[in-house]
Amino acid sequence: MSVLARSVGNAFRNKVRTAAVVAVLAVAIGLALAMLVANQAVTGKVAELNASVGTVLTVNPAGGQGFEGGGEPLTSAQAATAAAVPNVSSVVGTKALRLRNAAEIAAEAAAGQTGRTGQGGPGGQSATSVTTSLTAAVDAGTLGNRNQATSGTAGSTSGTTGSTTAAAPAFSLPITATGIDAEMDSTGKALQLTQGTGLGNYTAASTGALLGTTLATKNGLSVGSTFTIQDQTFTVQGLFDSGTAFGNNALYVTLPTAQTLAALPDELSTMIVTVNSMENVDAAKTALQAALGADKADVTQGQRNLETAVSSLDSVKNISFIAFVAALGTAGLIILLIMVMLVRERRREIGVLKAIGAPNRTIGLQFVLEALVLVALGSVVGAAVASLASGGIASALISSSSTTSAATAQRGGPGGFPGGPGGPLGGASQLLTSVTASASPGVIAAGIAAVFGVAIIGALVPALLTARIRPIEVLRGE
């Protein structure tokens, strides 16, 4: 009989014991795999946050933030200065445009409405208004009409009574157009293209454009379609999805193209500065402000509370890794104890094998294969347990960690709801709860490989220790 066949047969020699061992191993292996899945999910989320808004600084003209701001515009020379600051890995310049449909502007003028093409662009920065053939994909609604009514005059008033004699028709919202010199949105994240391709060289003038999905649908456009801005024809090269209705009522062109459309060469609305790591954000922010000058630029960090979120996620990552190692060690200990018991039961069998010339490696291999059969059965059940429990375990760990962080921040900061916009964590709590743990095949395979490694060690130790004994000593003791 081959070693493999004998090992499989021995594994099922006592079916009740085999079932009990597999059940215990399944719990330990399932917990280990669930913790590994949670650890990998949190690690991926931390990397995602660090690669996006966590290391992003926004540079606006000094005094230019908000609809009532002033100050001097940023320039390409300042972008070069920012790029030379230590720990700065990239600088993306943007130029904001507000696109208004020419027919709608004419209708508003005929109705006596003025001041509808006022300032305000992405991030609250001033934007130049230009005409386009596109129609906005978002209706003004109550909020849009209310907000735009405060920025200009509507209708006419009679005498000194100030009574309105003409009702203002509904307004139309402008389309946000942004010139960029890299494939990145106004928050520093890469554009998520759903169709088509990017614009290629974002530092050169181009007649290509990237449209939000809802804006393209509203205007019946697809990749390859054309539209106009300032009587210049543009071709849709790609469609993107920002995840919000407002964000998809927008388009992107290259930075030189936007500057040309605005007739403001070399001018920037804002700069998106990416720092090489979160640990260097504060130092880079200080150095950036000093290099650009406090009277020339305002440097802000969009999500300061992200550090609290990442710190909490790091705690969850550490806890889950420790729990994985502990569960893996428990599985190894279970295997070791089981194999010690089996080896002691089969001392006579080992003596007979030694007496007929079986080498130590054959005896050791027999017990290793038997242990691997038990571990394989436990891994199948454990993987099923992990796939069902990993999400709940990760959520429980994250919930506990975020509650602790919120309580700590609440004690050390101003009032407010910890999880709300005005609380100590602000929007960071949403980042904590947005971690999704899924049992991917790669993670499960890595976890099972670790379990098999521990099983081999746990089975070899008692088998080889017994195999070293001389046959006559084993048989005499029986």
pLDDT tens by residue, 297-352 = 999 875 555 566 666 677 777 888 888 888 888 888 888 888 888 777 777 777 77
> Does residue 166 surpass a pLDDT of 50?
no
| pLDDT interval class at 426 (50, 70, 90) | very low
For the chain, the domains span 3-51+308-411+418-476, 63-159+166-295
Q: What is the mean pLDDT of residues 284-289?
A: 93
The proportion of the chain whose per-residue pLDDT surpasses 70, expressed as a percent, equals 68
The proportion of the chain whose per-residue pLDDT surpasses 90, expressed as a percent, equals 19
Name the more confident of 97 and 302: 97
Q: What is the pLDDT of residue 75?
A: 92
Out of 44-53, 238-247, 398-407, 438-447, pick the least confident: 398-407
pLDDT tens by residue, 218-273 = 999 999 999 999 889 999 999 999 888 888 899 999 999 999 999 998 899 889 89
Q: What is the pLDDT of residue 410?
A: 43
> Does residue 21 surpass a pLDDT of 70?
yes
Q: What is the pLDDT of residue 82?
A: 94
Q: What is the pLDDT of residue 80?
A: 92
Full 3-state SS string of the chain? CCHHHHHHHHHCCCHHHHHHHHHHHHHHHHHHHHHHHHHHHHHHHHHHHHHCHHHEEEEEECCCCCCCCCCCCEEHHHHHHHHCCCCEEEEEEEEEEEEEEHHHHHHHHHCCCECCCCCCCHHHCCCEEEEECCCCCCCCHHHHHHHHHCCCECCCEECCCCEECCCCCCCCCCEEEEEECCCECCCCCECCEEEECCCCCCCCCCCEEEEEHHHHHHCCCCCCCEEEECCEEEEEEEEECCCCCCCCCEEEEEHHHHHHHCCCCCEECEEEEEECCHHHHHHHHHHHHHHHCCCCEEEEECCCCHHHHHHHHHHHHHHHHHHHHHHHHHHHHHHHHHHHHHHHHCHHHHHHHHHCCCCHHHHHHHHHHHHHHHHHHHHHHHHHHHHHHHHHHHHHHHHHHHHHHHHHHHHHCCCCCCCCCCCCCCCHHHHHHCCCCCCCHHHHHHHHHHHHHHHHHHHHHHHHHHHCCCHHHHHHCC
> Does residue 102 surpass a pLDDT of 50?
yes
Q: What is the pLDDT of residue 37?
A: 81
Average pLDDT, the chain: 75
- Report pTM: 0.55
| pLDDT interval class at 425 (50, 70, 90) | very low
Q: What is the pLDDT of residue 427?
A: 40
Q: What is the pLDDT of residue 101?
A: 83
Q: What is the pLDDT of residue 31?
A: 86
| pLDDT interval class at 471 (50, 70, 90) | low
Out of 11-20, 141-150, 357-366, 413-422, pick the least confident: 413-422
> Does residue 150 surpass a pLDDT of 70?
no
> Does residue 284 surpass a pLDDT of 70?
yes
Q: What is the mean pLDDT of residues 191-217?
A: 92
> Does residue 460 surpass a pLDDT of 70?
yes
